Amino acid sequence: MSTAPLLAVRDLRVEFALPGGGFFSEPRALKAVDGISFDLMPGETLGVVGESGCGKSTLGRAVLRLIEPSGGKALWLGKDMQALGSKAMRDVRKDMTIIFQDPLAALDPRMTVEQIIAEPLVTFHKSLGKDEIRRRVREIMARVGLSPHHVNRYPHEFSGGQCQRIGIARAMILRPKLVVCDEPVSALDVSIQSQIINLLIDLQKELGLSLIFISHNLSVVKHISHRIAVLYLGRLVEMGPAEEVFTAPRHPYTRALISAVPMPDPEKERARKRIVLTGDLPSPLNPPSGCTFRTRCPDAQDACAGERPAVEPVTADHQVACRRWRELAAFNPLV
């Protein structure tokens, strides 16, 4: 694996301006992504987890410039993407793509499967002839588990799992370097989820892909990811190697998330003590001061309401944003 990052995100911020509560009220700023930094190496998968509303999907879209960041930088092979003009950004877009959560809604119902999968080729490789495009479409269809004989069918004629395979084929047709997977299996049956995950792992090995894998399912994230980033209200609270984050999480929020993962052994599942969070997720329009998790944290102290905790190294590859992580003994929430 190369030592130079494919993608370097530095203090990335995304804010949405919302109208105030009255006619003469000032607009309010919703901080969907609030100062996140990380590196993504070639061939690496970074899993991104957290509750709904924590900024996972917004982060993925901001990295691709589908949403313009409000601040910070996303460096692609050392180049600041926000500084690129439309032509230069178009060249970069050939190397990055996204797989969406709802497979059927992501496909144009008026287009055949062949047209859907071929669209990136038609857009970025205008010199290719029809026969070559047709050959490549059939080739990638066979690779993702679809019959090439179904090229003239429409999305509504396929199951949800097949539609997601169509989306994956479309994403892989240009052999990109980065794929953002925005909860790609959450709308699928459990049996189909494992097939899609294994397909993504195989394609990553074949093509040398880097993945940003966004999901609520921590078991899936652990299976596919090299590293895991945990978000809460748009902030990074912990990031580290997948196995280390699962077996020795340092942030109380990470421990609570992992504690909610069911265990296959019913006896162990009944015997272990769960970490149950109290209260609801605060509004991102009015987040708590200091550590935003303190209003639900079982280990919070008065000092947690002070300054925002910095992201500190636990080990060379493991980071946490909690002022008390040294005091709190490391333990495995799955035991």
Q: Are strands 210-214 and 178-182 parallel, antiparallel or unpaired?
A: parallel
Q: What is the pLDDT along the chain (335 residues), one digit of tens a residue?
A: 457 899 999 999 999 988 876 666 778 889 999 999 999 999 999 999 999 889 999 999 999 999 999 999 999 999 999 999 989 999 999 999 999 988 888 899 999 999 999 999 999 998 999 999 999 999 999 999 999 999 999 999 999 999 999 999 999 999 999 999 999 998 888 889 999 999 999 999 999 999 999 998 888 999 999 999 999 999 999 999 999 999 899 999 999 999 888 877 788 777 777 888 888 888 888 899 999 999 999 889 999 999 999 999 999 999 999 999 988 776 667 65
325 falls within a domain: yes
Please tell me the predicted confidence (pLDDT) of residue 1.
Answer: 47
| Domain at 327, CATH number | 3.40.50.300
At 206, list the tokens. 């074949």
Q: Which domain holds residue 77?
A: 1-41+50-86+217-335
Q: How far is 74 from 129, CA to CA, in rounded Å?
A: 35
Which H/E stretch holds residue 47? strand 45-49
Residue whose structure tokens are 């509303």: 53
Q: How far is 225 from 264, CA to CA, in rounded Å?
A: 20
- Looking only at Cα atoms, what is the longest distance across the chain? 68
Please tell me the predicted confidence (pLDDT) of residue 14.
Answer: 96
14 falls within a domain: yes
Please tell me the predicted confidence (pLDDT) of residue 317.
Answer: 93
At 260, list the tokens. 């909610």
Q: How far is 256 from 22, CA to CA, in rounded Å?
A: 38
Please tell me the predicted confidence (pLDDT) of residue 189.
Answer: 87
33 falls within a domain: yes
Please tell me the predicted confidence (pLDDT) of residue 266.
Answer: 81
Please tell me the predicted confidence (pLDDT) of residue 233.
Answer: 94
129 falls within a domain: no
What's the structural domain count of the chain?
A: 1
245 falls within a domain: yes
184 falls within a domain: no
Please tell me the predicted confidence (pLDDT) of residue 334.
Answer: 64
94 falls within a domain: no
Q: Are strands 178-182 and 96-99 parallel, antiparallel or unpaired?
A: parallel
Q: How far is 145 from 150, CA to CA, in rounded Å?
A: 12
Please tell me the predicted confidence (pLDDT) of residue 229.
Answer: 97
32 falls within a domain: yes
